[in-house]
Each structure stands twice: as C-alpha cells, then as structure tokens.
Structure 1
Amino acid sequence: MAQQHSRFQAESLPDLSIIIPALNEADELDATLHAIARLRGHKEVIVVDGGSQDMTAEIARQHGACVMREQGGRGRQLHAGASLAKADILWFVHADTIPPANAVEHIKEALQGPDIVGGCFAVTFAGSTSSARFLTWLFRRLHKVGLCYGDAAIFVKRHHYTTMGGFPPFPIFEDVALLQSLKARGRLVECPATVTTSSRRIERCGLVRTLGLWTALQVLYWLGVSPYTLGRFYRPVKGQVQTPP
C-alpha cells in the first residue's frame, strides 16, 4: 500500500512549475495566463503577488493558479514561488510575457543534456514601433555574448536551483545573479523559440532614457554596487521594480 501511495504521488507531480512574480499586473496577467493555459503537459502555475492593489490576485485565481503573497522585491517573490513548486523543472515567466505554444516541449528538449543546468528563450518586444524592433534586435545580440535577463523566461533544473541557493532577494539584477551562479555549475542553452514581452517601459519612458539608465545600472552592478542601492534608481512600471528594460 505504501508503495502504491508513493507511486501515485510521483505520477501526480507536475512536469513543470511555472512561477510568475506580479505586482499590480491586472492589465497584463490575464493574457499571459491564457497563453500558459494553452501549453501542453502537466504543469502547475504559481503567481507570487508582491502586494497588488488591483485585481492581480483575483485574475490569477480565476485561471486556477496558486496564489501566494511575498513582498520585498522580485528576487524574493521568485524564490518564494520556487520554494513552493513541486516539479523538477522550474520556469520563471514575467507577468507581461507571452510564451509560444510549444514552449514546454522546447524546455524539455533543451534540458536533455547532462551538462545543461538551464536556459532561456529568444525575446521579441511587442509592438510595431521602431523602439520595439530595436530592442528585439539588441536583445538577440546580447544573448549571443552571454547576457540574458528575466524577460527571456529563464528555466532551470530544480536540483541545480536548490543546490546553488536560488534567486537572491534583490530588487534588481536578481536574474543576472542567478544566471551567473548557474553558469558556474554547467551549461545554459537558448531555445529555438521566442517569447513576446511588453515594451511598455520604452513606450512610457522613451528608448534613449531607458537604455541609458539600464546601461549605467548594469555597469555599476558589474563594478560591485549593491543591487539594493541600484534598485532605488530604477522606477517601477505598474508598481514593480523590474530588471531592465
């Protein structure tokens, strides 16, 4: 009987845990969760609400997501969601990012190699503006030189995430810190598929201003300035401190 119970528990575990940090994301989250619902496979969705004042949590529950509350910045939210997750694959998706229909298949295929610890997707910024097209071009060049951010929908094997300690509790550059730690453990891959993310910061703040601030903060981070200090200079969109852009 005990063996049957253990077998049932193993069979009922999801193949993939999708963790979404959110703060006042009611305008964006519905579309993201609709896209995730269309993905194939046995998956769980965890929305980690950072203290929203809008309908974010209600929308997440309407889609059947597990909703938990964790304040203190996106790094803390992501790690809290990962700590609750049950699957052996953790996938971190921003609330304004739309995955492709075959995303789960790409993730599973990408993680087949024993030396691979995780990966991400190519990124397209939504919209037909020249700024959105430029950002799409820029991000693909950055990926080629090893720079990647949370907009790219990072995924990781659970045991590597747990062993290295997971996301640090940073308000900014938590994704860069995670990827640096993962690279020390093995190989990261980019899936031959694209996620579409919002270009709202560029639309609201302007391309030159956003890229200038992003570049300055990135350089200061590499020089050793605390992410907690840098987070004070990066104004949130929809109430959330986000890693540029």
Structure 2
Amino acid sequence: MLKFSIIIPCYRDEEKLLCLLGQLHNMPDKAWEIIVVDGAGSESCRRICNLFQARWLTADQPCRGQQLLAGALAAQGDVLWFLHADVRLSLTSLAAMTQAIHNGAIGGFFKFRFDTLQHWPAVILEPAIMLRCCFGVPYGDQGLFILRECYHAVGGHAPWSLFEEVPLVQGARQIGRFIGLRESIFVNPRRWQQDGWWRRTWHNRMLALRFACGVAPQTLAARYQAGKASPEHPHIKHL
C-alpha cells in the first residue's frame, strides 16, 4: 500500500488551509502524513494543523520553493503530493494517483478546473491550460505528485518564489512517465476575478515568456509582487 505525504506551503491563508485540511480529513482514502510549511510562523496556522493532526513546520521566509523543499525533506511517505491551500479536491484523488503509480508512472498532475460557476473566459482558458501542459510544464496549483525517491533524484523544487516546479517537472520527464490525470483539481479563480480574466492571463504569460528568455526568477517575483493589488503569497497562476 502506497504511503502519501501531502505537503502544503502556507502564508497567511489559514482560512483556505482549514478548508483544505477538512477536505483531506473527509476523503475515503487517507494520506499517511500531512506537512504544512508556514512562511509566516502563524500561531493560528499551528492550531489548525494540530486540529487535523498535520505536522506544522516554519520557514525562514515566505518563499514557496524553499517551503516545498523543506516539506519534502521532512516527508517519509512513498509519494509526495504538493498542494496549494486554496484548491478543492476530488474525493477520488488519492485513488487516481495510486492507480497511476501502479500503472508505471513516477508522478503527474491533475486536470485544471476553475472552482466557480463557469464564466465564459474560464470555458476558453481551461482547455488552453491543458493543451499547454502537453507541451510545457504544469504548475504547482495542479496538484503535482511524484515518487519520493524520484523527487530527490532530480533535485526537487528550485528554491524560488516563481516557476519553482519547472526544473522538477523537466527532470521527472527525463527519468520516467510524468502524466496528466483525468481527475480534476479545482483552483480558486479569485486572482482572475480581481484583476480581470484577460489582464491576469496576459500578465502571467509575459512572466512565463521572460522566464523562458532567461530573466531570473527573483527578478520576476519582485515584478509580480509589485503588480499585485493584494499582499498574497508571490506565486504565478496559470495562463
């Protein structure tokens, strides 16, 4: 029986974390361990983790890549599953990942869906995101999962606040089957709704283009943070 370690980076998003841990608690299949890496060192975050018997770790700074690396280093399960705090999960997520591993995959990612009533831009963006994942890299909000030994073999996440999953996914695809599941993961659309669907999409694509052209992730993270209306955790979202 595969043991799953779930790793969740958190930064001042306790309400969303509470909802996610509740979802995991109510799943028919249970993870072996849950590790929350808190970039704010919040006492309320620690209390929420204790409520659901999740392990609470603190990070030196709110850098998602470093938080994910710290969680992966502490994890002891066979499979590492990386989740953002604001996602909604399918009840059969763990079963889908187990089946994929048993069929020979070393890891993969979930089908991207917006967690909202369908606005017409979402109807266009969802298939566009999945098409891009076939030729490019799925991002962290798609619930990336990978065998722990393979994670460490390819060097894990980069210690960046943006695009930290790119070296991981590229390395994984070089050593085994890293597949897209039919199972969906539902992503909170608040950033698109706050900024405008097409403005947010254009901004994210420009960041991705600059990254592909060699601009340092630290430089891009500073630009991304400066352009946001709300002081949330610095991290790019799809398209």
TM-score if structure 2 supplies the norm length? 0.90
Aligned residue number for residue 121 of structure 1: 110
Secondary structure of residue in 2 paired with 1:229:
helix
CA deviations 1:23-46 (Å, max 9, x no partner) are 011221121111111221352111
| Separation (CA, whole Å) in 2 of partners of 1:205 and 1:133 | 18
Task: Please name the residue that 1:47 is paired with.
Answer: 36
Q: Which moved more, 1:48-57 or 1:182-191?
A: 48-57
Q: Secondary structure of the equivalent of 1:51?
A: coil
Alignment partners' CA distance in 2, 1:42 and 1:239: 28
Q: Equivalent residue of 1:159, what SS?
A: helix
Q: CA deviation at 1:54?
A: 7.7
What is the match of residue 120 of structure 2?
Answer: 130
Between the two proteins, the alignment pairs up a number of residues equal to: 232
* Residue 142 of structure 1, CA deviation: 1.9
1:89 matched residue in structure 2: 79
How many angstroms does 1:210 deviate by? 1.1
C-alpha distance in structure 2 between counterparts of 1:244 and 1:64, whole Å: 29
Moved over 4 A (4+): none
- Which of 194, 198, 202 aligns to 1:208? It is 198
Structure 1 residue 36 corresponds to structure 2 residue 24? yes
Cα distance in 1 between the residues matched to 2:140 and 2:63: 14
CA distance in 2, matches of 1:206, 1:52: 32
Q: Secondary structure at the match of 2:108?
A: strand
Contact 2:24/2:30 (8 A) holds in 1: no
Q: Which segments of 5 or more consecutive residues in structure 2 lack a partner in the other structure?
A: none
Distance 2:198 2:204 in 1: 10
> Do 2:112 and 2:184's aligned partners in 1 also have CA atoms closer than 8 Å?
yes
* 1:242 pairs with one of 224, 231, 235: 235
Task: Report the 3-state secondary structure (helix = DSSP H, G, I; strand = E; otherwise coil) of the residue aligned with 1:183.
Answer: helix
* 2:148 is equivalent to residue 155 of structure 1: no
Query: Which protein is bigger by CA-based radius of gyration?
Result: 1
What is the CA distance between 1:56 and its match in structure 2? 3.0
How far is 1:60 from its partner? 2.4
Equivalent position of 1:69 in the other structure: 58
How far is the alpha carbon of 1:244 from its aligned partner? 2.0
CA contact (8 A) 2:40 2:62 kept: no
CA-based RMSD of the aligned residues comes to 2.0
Contact kept? 1:119, 1:154, Cα under 8 Å: yes
Q: CA deviation at 1:211?
A: 1.1
Looking at structure 1, the residues matched to 188 and 139 of structure 2 have their Cα atoms a distance apart, in angstroms, of: 14
Q: Which amino acid aligns with 1:148?
A: P
**1:190-205 residue pairs with structure 2 within 5 A?**
190-205=180-195
SS in 2 for 1:195: strand
Residue type of the alignment partner of 2:237: P
For 2:121 and 2:205, locate their aligned partners in 1 and report how far apart those are by CA, in whole Å: 16
TM-score (norm 1): 0.87
- Percent pairwise identity: 28
CA shift, 1:180, in A, is 1.2
Mapped to 1, the partners of 2:160 and 2:12 lie a distance apart of 19
Deviation (angstroms), 1:218: 0.5
Alpha-carbon distance between aligned partners in 1 of 2:170 and 2:155, rounded to the nearest angstrom? 12
